[in-house]
C-alpha cells in the first residue's frame, strides 16, 4: 500500500471556486508540519468552524476573525472538502497540534494522511507564489482554476511538480541499496543514514525517464544498466514530486564508484538479507519489497 492508494476513497483535485462552510475540513500548515489531532491512534482533521472559533478566542491584537471567503479551496476526498488559509498564520488550538510530515508517513487512516500531505504541498506552493517573477507585482488567484496570475503582465503560475526516477538495480539475487549522505539534506530533521533507499534523481531538461535512469545510476554509483523496465509511479507531496519507478539490470562490471556528496553508502544486498519494508507507504519501499518477494518485473 502506497500513500496515494486510498481506495475506496476517491481523491478529487478538480478546482472549483467553492466558498468554505464551517463543517468543511481545514488544513492548517506551516513550513514542515500540519495541524492535526489524534483519537484512538487515528488522525483527526479540524474543521473550518473550529479554526474560526480559535481565531475568535485568541488575542491577535485586534486581527479580525477570517471570513469564510478567505479560506482557499484545495481539493476533496469523497464528499469532504478541504480548505486552507494561505494569507494568515495559524497557531495550534484545542486538541490540535503540529504534526511533522514524517508523522504523515506512518499514521492512519490513509485518506486523511494523504489529504493532509497534499494540503501541505499546496499550502507551501501558495506561500511561495506571491509575487510575479517577471515584473515583481503581487499575484492574484485566478477565479476559475488553481493558478496564480499577474494582473500587471499576465504571467501565469501553476503548482509545480518535479518528475523523478526511483531505480532498483538488480544483479541476479542482489539489489543495489543506498543511503544518503547527511549533507544531501542539510535542513532536515530526518536522519537519511538510518534507512536504505534506492538510486534516485530528478529528470533533467530534454531527458526521458529512461535516460535519467542511466544517468543517475552512472553519476551516483558508476554503474551501467540494461533492461530498464517501468514498475509503478507515485505522487509524493512531501517534495512536490511525481516519482517513476524502474527496475533494471547491471550491465557489466559491478564495482561501485560512490558519489560521496550525495550518498554515504551504496552496496549490493542479497534478496534473503533484505528487511521487510511492507509497512512503509513510499514507492521506494514498494520496489524493495517487490524484489525481496520476487515480484519485480523481469525483462531479460
Residue bearing cell 492548517:
28
Q: What is the mean pLDDT of the chain?
A: 93
The pLDDT, as a whole number, for residue 64 is: 84
Q: How many CB atoms lie within 10 A of CB 2?
A: 20
Residue 28 has pLDDT above 80, yes or no: yes
State the fold for domain 162-292.
Nucleoside Triphosphate Pyrophosphohydrolase (3.90.79)
Q: Find out whether 84 and 28 touch, Cβ atoms under 8 Å.
A: yes
- Over pLDDT 90: what percentage of the chain? 84
pLDDT, tens only, 35-54: 999 998 899 999 999 999 99
Question: What stretch of H or E contains 288?
Answer: helix 283-292
Residue 67 has pLDDT above 60, yes or no: yes
The pLDDT, as a whole number, for residue 300 is: 39
C-alpha cell at 250: 547491471
The 8-class DSSP code of residue 203 comes to P
d(CA 138, CA 174): 54
The pLDDT, as a whole number, for residue 297 is: 87
Residue 62 has pLDDT above 80, yes or no: no
What integer is the mean pLDDT of 228-239? Answer: 96
Residue bearing cell 519501499:
285
Q: Find out whether 228 and 213 touch, Cβ atoms under 8 Å.
A: yes
CA proximity to 119, closest of 212, 57, 26: 26
Structural domain spans, the chain: 11-128, 130-159, 162-292
Strands 80-84 and 72-77: antiparallel
CA proximity to 159, closest of 61, 252, 86: 86
Residue 189 has pLDDT above 60, yes or no: no
- Model confidence at 185, pLDDT cuts 50, 70, 90, reads low
Q: Is 286 helix (H, G, I), strand (E, B) or coil?
A: helix
Backbone angles phi, psi at 245, to 5 degrees: -95, 135
Residue 113 has pLDDT above 80, yes or no: yes
CA proximity to 266, closest of 298, 299, 221, 236: 221
pLDDT, tens only, 250-286: 999 999 999 999 999 999 999 999 999 999 999 999 9
Question: What stretch of H or E contains 113?
Answer: helix 110-128
The pLDDT, as a whole number, for residue 299 is: 42
Amino acid at each position: 500500500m502506497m500513500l496515494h492508494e486510498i481506495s475506496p476513497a476517491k481523491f478529487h483535485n478538480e478546482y472549483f471556486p467553492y466558498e468554505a462552510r464551517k463543517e468543511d475540513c481545514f488544513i492548517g500548515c506551516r513550513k514542515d508540519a500540519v495541524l492535526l489531532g489524534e483519537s484512538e491512534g487515528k488522525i483527526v482533521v479540524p474543521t473550518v468552524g473550529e479554526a474560526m472559533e480559535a481565531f475568535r478566542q485568541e488575542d491577535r491584537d485586534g486581527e479580525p476573525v477570517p471570513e469564510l471567503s478567505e479560506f482557499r479551496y484545495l481539493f476533496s476526498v469523497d464528499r469532504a472538502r478541504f480548505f486552507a488559509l494561505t494569507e494568515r498564520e495559524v497557531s495550534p488550538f484545542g486538541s490540535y497540534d503540529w504534526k511533522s510530515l514524517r508523522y504523515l508517513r506512518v499514521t492512519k487512516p490513509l485518506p486523511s494522511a494523504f489529504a493532509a500531505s497534499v494540503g501541505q504541498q499546496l499550502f507551501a506552493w501558495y506561500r511561495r507564489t506571491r509575487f510575479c517573477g517577471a515584473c515583481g507585482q503581487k499575484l492574484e488567484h485566478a477565479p476559475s482554476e488553481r493558478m496564480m496570475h499577474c494582473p500587471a503582465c499576465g504571467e501565469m503560475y501553476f503548482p509545480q511538480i518535479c518528475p523523478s526516477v526511483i531505480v532498483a538495480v538488480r544483479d541476479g539475487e542482489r539489489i543495489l541499496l543506498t543511503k544518503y549522505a547527511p549533507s544531501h539534506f542539510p535542513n532536515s530533521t530526518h536522519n537519511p543514514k538510518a534507512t536504505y533507499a534506492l538510486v534516485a534523481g530528478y529528470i533533467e531538461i530534454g531527458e526521458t525517464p529512461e535516460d535519467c535512469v542511466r544517468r543517475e545510476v552512472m553519476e551516483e554509483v558508476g554503474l551501467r544498466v540494461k533492461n530498464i523496465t517501468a514498475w509503478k509511479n507515485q505522487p509524493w507531496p512531501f517534495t512536490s514530486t511525481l516519482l517513476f519507478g524502474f527496475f533494471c539490470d547491471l550491465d557489466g562490471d559491478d564495482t561501485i564508484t560512490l558519489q560521496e556528496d550525495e550518498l554515504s553508502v551504496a552496496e549490493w544486498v542479497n534478496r534473503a538479507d533484505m528487511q521487510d519494508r511492507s509497512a512503509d507507504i513510499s514507492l521506494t519501499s514498494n520496489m524493495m519489497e517487490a524484489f525481496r518477494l520476487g515480484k519485480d518485473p523481469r525483462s531479460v
